[in-house]
Amino acid sequence: MGKFKNISKTEKDKRMKYHQDMARCIFRIFKTTKADEGEYTCQIDDERGIKTTGSLYIEDLAALQIEKGLKDIDALEEEDFTLEVTLSKSDSRGKWVKDGKVLSKKQSSIDATRFGKFITIKTGRLLNLEILYDAYPAPTIVWMKDGLSCQTSIDAKRCKLNIEKSKRGDIGKYELISKNAKGEVKIPTDVTVLARPDKPEGPMKLTGITKETVVVSWKPSLANGVSGTEYTVSVLVDGKEYELRVVAVNKPSPGEYAKTEGPIQARPPDVTPHAVGFSAFSPKEIIVRAGEDLKITVPFVGSPAPQVTFAKNGDEIKPDGNNQVTVKDGIAELIVPKVKAGDTDLYSCTLKNHLGQETVQMKVIVVDKPDTPEGPLNISDVKPDICLSTWKPPKTDGGSPITNYIIEKFDTKKGEWQKVSSFCRSPFYEVTGLTEGSEYKFRVSAENLYG
């Protein structure tokens, strides 16, 4: 049986194993260290004491080695050839020397063939900017965004900029800059991050409201950059109320709605009240017969619909069981039933809304048949067949000038009234055609256009 150096050590170090396999004596050390260096001996366990000795050397891993060296190469003139050396470390650098002279170092070389000038990703996705490079001496490499440096990951062949969850703030102009003693290389790219647009800026403004349309406008979010922030909404129904909202939409998805602060009513545009068909300088004359209804109608324009007030000689006429005031479809109307002479006066109608007001006047004349002429009825200058009758005009002409008087006589023998004349225009009349010896009675009445 062979004997091994430091047999006692194997009892303490589990990395060391030894055993005999038929005619072979085997000793193993797992995961060697520098302390394992030394001379090891295997000796036959008999009286002869035959032995064999060998040394173990541990190489330092930190030392750079050439694993595959150069070989002689024969090449024809103008033929390409390649010299290749394999180093023990992938991140190591060497230099080439020809006939004792160092060959020229090369400028940074960057492979950007698969790198776009414009990159678009959705928000929340990984933004991976990676470029392969090859240069000696090792260049300084950095990613820049809008002129500011970014945290960059660099190894022997790659330069990376990774943003795990991209957001709108990552939008910008990026540039990779690689520089060494031989020069500088720059690779630019524009990055766009697609995200849901923000809620449009409020408040929403409503203008140009009519009974069929309304113009709605708003401010876009600064982050959206959307143009066109005004729209005319049409096909509205007069008098109905509406609420409006607006949302920004881009390729990923719609954003959040902005709403009006409250409902709006479709109605004609704001207009200062104005009475149609009335003069601002003179009142409109209205004539109505006594006993009939007085109806004052005032067509108007105005929006919103104005407040309407009727007045008589400055005193407001309020609707009650007698007087009626109605306002509908642009027409204001006052009805005073069965007017009499005392209702003759100066009436007015006032239209008022938030833009202003207008007052128009109406001169109302209540007309009727005239009163009875003032007595007494005097008879004078009596002759056998003629007499003169005189009287005084009535106190009230009924609102219309006296057009004529009607004179009648009553013959006591005949017992009936007979018309003498209906064309008398003065308060006296000479009655003719009388019969001498007969007795007569006379009467007179005034007449105007209304009776």
* 201-265 fold: Immunoglobulin-like (2.60.40)
Between 170 and 324, name the one with better pLDDT.
Answer: 324
Per-chain mean pLDDT for the chain: 81
Quickly state the pLDDT bin for 8 (edges 50, 70, 90): very low
Between 379 and 20, name the one with better pLDDT.
Answer: 379
Q: What does CATH list as the number for 109-194?
A: 2.60.40.10
- What are the structural domain ranges in the chain? 2-56, 109-194, 201-265, 271-367, 374-447
pLDDT tens-digit series, residues 84-123: 888 776 666 677 777 877 765 555 556 555 566 777 878 7
Could you give the percent of the chain with pLDDT greater than 90?
Answer: 24
Quickly state the pLDDT bin for 273 (edges 50, 70, 90): very high
Quickly state the pLDDT bin for 252 (edges 50, 70, 90): low
pLDDT value of residue 62: 60
Domain 374-447: which CATH number of 3.40.50.300, 3.40.190.10, 1.10.10.60, 2.60.40.10: 2.60.40.10
Is residue 165 within 8 A of residue 124, CB to CB? The reply is: yes
Q: Give the 3-state secondary structure of the chain.
A: CEECCCHHHHHHCCCEEEEEECCEEEEEECCCCHHHCEEEEEEECCCCCCEEEEEECCCCCCCCCEEECCCCCCCCCCCCCCCCCEECCCCCCCCCEECCEECCCCCCEEECCCCCCEEEEECCCCEEEEEEEECCCCCEEEEEECCEECCCEECCCEEEEEECCCCHHHCEEEEEEEEECCEEEEEEEEEEEECCCCCCEEEEEEECCCCCCEEEEEECCCCCCCCCCEEEECCCCCCCEECCEECCECCCCECCCEECCCCEECCCCCEEEEECCCCCCCCEEEEEECCCCEEEEEEEEEECCCEEEEEECCEECCCCCCCEEEEECCEEEEEECCCCHHHCEEEEEEEEECCEEEEEEEEEEEECCCCCCEEEEEEECCCCCCEEEEEECCCCCCCCCCCEEEEEEEECCCCEEEEEEEEECCCEEEECCCCCCCCEEEEEEEECCCC
Q: Would 201-265 and 374-447 be classified into the same CATH topology?
A: yes
pLDDT value of residue 431: 92
Lowest mean pLDDT of 11-20, 49-58, 116-125, 350-359, name the range.
11-20
Structural domain 271-367, CATH architecture? Sandwich (2.60)
pLDDT value of residue 239: 76
